[in-house]
Each structure stands twice: as C-alpha cells, then as structure tokens.
Structure 1
C-alpha cells in the first residue's frame, strides 16, 4: 500500500476513550493518524486537511456516530467511514459505512479494518488539498454571525454554521427529530422545507418566534442544486431580529393605546351628543337658534367620525405572505399569556396574510380569552375549510345577539374599554375576512375567521 505517509486517518474518540489511548493503538499502523480534539472541528479538518478515512465511535457526547457519519457522507460521498462499536445490522443500507460491533478504538481490529478500506482509491474531496471555493464556503459557515445551514433531500442537517449552535449538534436530524424544538415550529419548518425539496417553491422567507431561545428570527431557505441542476437539498439562513421585532411591538402597542383612547373618547362624545340631540328636541325656542345648535352638534359628530376613521385606518395589509397559523399563534401567545395559560394548536394551515396586522387580530382574540376566562384558560387554535378558529374553555357568552361583542365600547369586564374585538373585526375586514362567534366544544367562546386565503 506504500509508505505510512501515503494515507491519513482522522480519529474521533468517544466516551471512555481518551486521545492518548487511541493514539497508542494506531502508533504502529501503516498509515498516519490525527486525533480530532473537538467534534465541531470535523468539517474544518476534512476540508482543510488531506484525509483518506474517518473513524467514528458509537457515540460522541449526546450524538450518535451514525448521525455524524450521515452528515459527513453527504458532503464527502467517497470518504471511507468506519463506525466502531456499532452493530452492522443497525446501520441503514444507504449510509454506506463499515461498522465494527463490540469493540473500541483501542482494539487492534480497528487498525486492520482501516487498513482494508484504505486499499481503495483515495477519496476525491477529502483526499486532496481544498479548492478556494471550498475554503470560501467553509469560512461562510464558520464566520457568519447568523445561523447558516445545509440540509439534504430528506431535510436532514448535513452542515451547520457556528452562529446559533455547535456545527454538529443536529447533524443527521430533521427539525422534527430535534427534541428542544417546539413540535408545531418543527413540523411547520419541515413542511416548508419539503415544499422546496419537492420543487413546489424556490424560496421560503418567514419570521418565527423560537420558544427555545425567546428570540424572533427571520429565516430564508433556497434549493441546493447539484452540477446537473437537480435539487440535492436546501440551504438556509436564520437571522436574529429580536431587537427589530421589539421596536415593532412597541410601536404597535403605542398605536393600540392611541386607537383605544380615540375610540373611547369618540364613544363618550357620541353618548353626550345623543343626549344633547334628545334634549334639543324638547326645547321650545326660536327655530333659527335651534337650527344653529343642531348644525353645531352635527359638525361635532362629523369630527368624531373623522377621529374614528383616522385612528383605525392605520392597518396596512399590503405585505401579504404565506405564514403558518401555528407560527403566528405561538409568536403572539408568548408575548401575552402567563405560565398557567395554555395554547393548543390543531390542524395547522398556511394563511396568506400581513403578519403584523394578522398578529394584531390574534392578539385581541387571545386577550379576550385571557380577560373573560382568566389566567388558567386553555385556548385552542385550528384551521377550518374557510380559514381558522380560536376557541377557549371558559363559560361562554350569553350576549344576545352574539354580534354585539364586536360593537365599539361594548364590554362585560370592568375596566375594559370594549374595543379589542371591534379592532379585531376591522383588521379582519381589511383582509377581506369575517369573524363569526359561536360556542366552542368546551362550552366557551369560539371565533371563526372565514373567507381566508389559504396557501396550498
């Protein structure tokens, strides 16, 4: 096979096997060996150095050796990989690795096995010096402060940048297999990715709220093409936009307060105007004087109408994009609810909506449940054939007719301005939607938002 320096092996020690023990085992082997000190450096070593074989243990910390092998195989398809301490029958056929059961890196059998796989031709990528393009791409993954990642045609991670996570802590896994991610978030992300992989779309751009880190992020995903133009996987970039969203939320809350003050003032003015008109009809005086007073009251009424119009026309729904119902709900919910309240997601769907204004609608529906039922309320959000529903498990509503809950200033809660559901209805109407009130399956209130444009 040639001299010892002809071939180089990269060794990854596992639990219970220190670097010195592994190095002593390979000291007399007819090939050179390099111990990998930390797993996150694996792609840097395979890209920047020349290696002809990779040796992995059954587990490296919390990660399975097969998962690491899976990610390496997608980027270095010809590199021989030896899994130590892994039963061959447990390795998927498509992984194409050599598995050695009931052994460790200190076992001489490992050296013999590695010697055997090195008899083949050198791998075309890891077995040569890297090209400038390869080092450039590796630098992007290593140095970008944002989260950059690549996934294969089954949406499994094959490489990750250092922006948010360790570069290997999700290798070989889909988002639905990453335990710390919220189920609805992971499932929605997976559906988005499959839309790219199936060729249904060539770009995904979505704002998300991550329960794991309490951060708002902007995620963009595009196809990863091979040299023949076929979709091999996808590339994603996730940026932290928490500060920007905080400013947007502050602006939105300030606008809400201004709208509520304007509507409350208008409501009180109208009550007083109604009283003034009623008293005016009872007066017995000069008709010309009455006409002047009536005209003055009419002008005041017109001013009140103008205030209401100006304060409620700020909703901008021009930037409509597909957004998962679960993502929209989770983002809004986690800014409102206390720990004892619970949000449940059923039958997820993608809505075509302006996320900010649709989030405002969800906020008022959620606030209605929290205020009328209490901090231990359970709110259930689900899709329907015509849109989506928001239901609570409270005592329900005895208001007759039910549509009165959407009237400006109407409330049954002391201290409440009574404009939340009124604004929610206005936001819905700006989208071309309608809101209907009925009884939930738990006997509480259920709001159905219908005529919603659903994205296939």
Structure 2
C-alpha cells in the first residue's frame, strides 16, 4: 500500500477534520498517508507536512524500538487495537514532546490503513516526572532523618541517663526534655513525609482497645481515658494509631496532666473529647495547619498528622467544643465493621 485514495477517504477526512486529537493514517511500514488538521495545533505545522515520510523517523531513538514493536503486532492482526502508549515525538520546531497514542488496524475496512489517534501529554508527563523526582528527594530526606539523625540522638539520650546516675545537676532534666522534643520532631517529620501516601490494607480495628493502647504509649502523666464506644471500624491500623496518639498527646499538652479523655461513638464515626480548656473560637480553622502550636513544647505537627491520616482514609475531621467545656474532635465518614 503506497497511497491513500481520496475517493475512499472522504468520509473519514470529514470525521477527523475537527478532532482535537491528531489522527494519522499509516501504511504497514509506518509511512504517513494522512494527518488531520489538528497537526497544526499538536505539531505546529501543516497537516500535509509529513505525509509521505515515515512516522518512526519522528519517534525519539530511545522509544523507537518499543513503539515499532507495538505497531508491528497490530499490523499482523486486522481489527485489533493497541493499548495506549506514551513516547517522545518530534515537534515541528525540533523539540521533543510527549504524546499518548492508540492505534487500530483498519485494513479490513474502507479506510484500508492503520489509524493512530494521538494527543499531547507533555504537561502531564512533566508533572509526573517532577513528582517522581520530589519523591526520590523525599526518600533521601527520610533516610537521613531516620538514620543519620536518629542514631546520634539515641546516643545523646543514653548519655543523659548516664549523667543522671553520676551527677546531681539541675541541667539534666531540661536537657532530657529537649532531647525528647527532638525525638518527637523526628517522629512527626517521618510521619509527615508519608503525606499523600495511600493507606495500607484496611482491617477491622477495635477502637476502644486501640485507643487504650495509644494512651499507654503516649506520655500521659495523670490523665485518664474512658472509651465509651463498642464498635469496630475498618482502617489501616498503623495510620489510625498515629491519629489517636496525636489526639491524645494534643489533649495532654493543652489540657494539663490530669485531663480526662473520652472516646465515643457518632452516627458516622467517632469522637475524642477532653476536659481541657478548649480551643479559642478564632483558632479553629488554623489548628490543622502544619507547624501551628500554642504549646511551648509542641512540635506543631500533631494535628496536621491527624488530618492527613483522616484524609488518607477518606474521612472528615472537625474540631468543636466538648460537652464539659474542653475540645472535641469528630471523625466522620468511617466504615464500621460491626
């Protein structure tokens, strides 16, 4: 097949005249027999500029073999349609753009050729590549934080305990608290580094049991917790633990060491309420922002992590006044397992 007869293609030309995609008809060798008028928008040149030349000449050398193989498989099977493929293609100005194409073998119809629909996806591809580079840098950052920073911190904490045993100094406790704060910051930074990650596999989680476990894990001083919910919810247990631990830690930091926490049930979720002083009305919209804190020793990331975990599950979290004047965090959109 060396030409594409106009009398057999008039209807096809009419259909593709106003297509936003670049529509090309090739022969079995890849020679371009026809390109739609959208070539001007996609490639920056007249639609007949490349007619008679081989399409593979314009495919980036690093992508050419892969695309030729996909095209060859389609050529051997009349009526077949390829999967969508992305590759670099030469623009009329000599630059490389990313295009996404899908091809179909129409040799068994009046078209009698191989139809390729293509669109410019350069912007999308560049965003994807930027995101991949950001993720690589983020992985490097978390590696540095979790190893290069954590290791000397652990050594320093161990040395403080040795100093405490051998030296009665008023400076030991402040030093210990400062190192604990750094430890909390490291934990929060590693958690925030997972921002946007999809949740892991969900499972039935006993909310009362997990909240008590979290309360025992957090430094809660003389605080108490009263789970008043007998429900199991579907969640990523590890991420839900982060949410609960940060709500408990927030209550202790702002409500005092003897604060009481209640974990209760809502129609579409659960709440965590404390007996502390509550949150000022004008600060309600700001508390979930990363870095926001009213406590001298707070990291400012805890409630940001709470919102992140809720968002990852598709839940909604809001803050309101507690029944006893404290603060109440409500998490809704939760799927109950029982």
State the TM-score bracket (shorter-chain normalisation).
0.3 to 0.5
User: So what's the TM-score if we normalise by structure 1?
Assistant: 0.33
Q: Return the TM-score normalized by structure 2.
A: 0.43
Higher RCO, Cα 8 Å, sep 6+? 2
